[in-house]
Structures are given as structure tokens and as C-alpha cells.
Amino acid sequence: MVLRMPGVISAQVYQEEDQEPRVHVVCRSFSTPRQMVRQIVSLLRNMGWNEVSPEMVTIVQIAPTDDAGPAGNRLKIFGYSLVRNGTSLEGRCRLGRGPATFEGAARGGVLTAVLAQAAVAAINETLGGVALTFLDSQIIDQGERKVVLTTLRFGKEEILTGSAVVHGVLEETVVRATLDAINRRVVLYTGGKPD
């Protein structure tokens, strides 16, 4: 059953003499190792192996074979748009990694929030589901420069922040700040090394 889980390449149960059984799983990095462990433990408990615990499960994540090293894992901005529709804004963000593109959209009343939410929607598409939650995006004054600061939640517990200095177009800066919060995580979860 574990082999039928999305991203699982191989799974093995082994037991050394006088020790608890262990479950070793090799998978692609569609979700965090902690999430994979939880899913595997839940699956095995539902199958009747009630004594399984998270400590008995080992996860090894590998990068997909079509990624061209760390640079191939880093998300890049392929495009964005912002359209005013009456009193609200509609933002779209298109991100890419290698030959793949991912698009997200959001609506709201505040430019920074709308574009950051659109970027988060595109990032969640790259991760294969809803893993990130948008919390806040603000423009702050830092000395003589304006900086966009974006805050996200990964899963239920981890808070991520990203920032980008406003050099030209504010919209692009918002997307860059959002990517700054997550790009190292995307690289790590896809098996690469951060730049």
C-alpha cells in the first residue's frame, strides 16, 4: 500500500533481531518529510499495524530525474499581471522551474496582498497541493529604500519570511519577496542545494 502513495519510489520493512521493525521509504519530494511520515504512519495504522510510530519510519527524498541540478529547482518569475475590476484587484502570477510553468490567481483590495497571494497559489501548484498559506505582505521603509516584506506559513507551524528591495516595478518586487520566503525550501524539498 505504501508503494501506491504519490511520489513513493520504493518501500521496505525490515527488522533486526530483538529490535522493532523499521520502514524505509524512498520518494520524490512532493511534500515535507514530516508530512510523509505522518501519512505513512496513518496508512499503516489503518491497515492494522497499530504499533507503528513515527520513529519507526525513515524517509529519503530524491530530486526528479528531469531537474537539471540546483538551478533547475529554483522557481523563477515568468510573468505577472494586475487588473483593477471596479473596487477590487485581480492578480495573476506565472512561475517556472525548468520547462514547467505554474500559474496562480487571487483577488482583493490591496496590491501587495493580491500579488503575494497569486504567487503563493502558483507555488502551491509546484508543491502539488496547498502547503503554503499567505499571512501578510507590507511595504516598509528601510533607510532610503522601500522594502516589501512577505510572511507565509508552511504547513501548520513553520513561518517563512521573504523580502525584496523596491528597485523599479512594485508588482515584481512583491512576487520576488514572496519567492524569497520559499525558494530555499522549494530547492530543499525537491532535493537540490540552495544557491
Residues 71-84 pLDDT 10s? 456 788 999 999 99
pLDDT over 90 (residue 194): no
Closest CA to 156 of 134, 133, 179, 122: 133
Distance, C-alpha 111 to centroid of its chain: 22
Homologous superfamily in CATH for domain 2-62: ANL, C-terminal domain (3.30.300.30)
CA–CA distance from 115 to each of 61, 144, 150, 168 (Å)? 31, 24, 11, 16
- Helix, strand, or coil here: 70? helix
Domain range annotation of the chain: 2-62, 69-189
Distance, C-alpha 58 to centroid of its chain: 21
Residue 184 pLDDT class (50, 70, 90 cuts) = low
Q: Which amino acid is at 67?
A: D
CB atoms within 10 A of CB 92: 19
* Cβ atoms of 191 and 73 closer than 8 Å: yes
- Which pLDDT tens digit goes with each residue over 146-171? 999 999 998 888 899 999 999 888 99
Average pLDDT of 4-28? 81
- Which pLDDT tens digit goes with each residue over 72-117? 567 889 999 999 988 899 999 999 887 888 999 999 999 999 999 9
Predicted TM-score (pTM) of the model is: 0.59
Owner of C-alpha cell 482583493 = 108
Query: Higher-confidence residue: 61 or 187?
Result: 61
* Cβ atoms of 26 and 62 closer than 8 Å: yes
Question: Which CATH number applies to 69-189?
Answer: 3.30.160.270
| pLDDT in the model for residue 98 | 77
In the chain, the percentage of residues whose pLDDT exceeds 90 is 33
CB atoms within 10 A of CB 195: 10
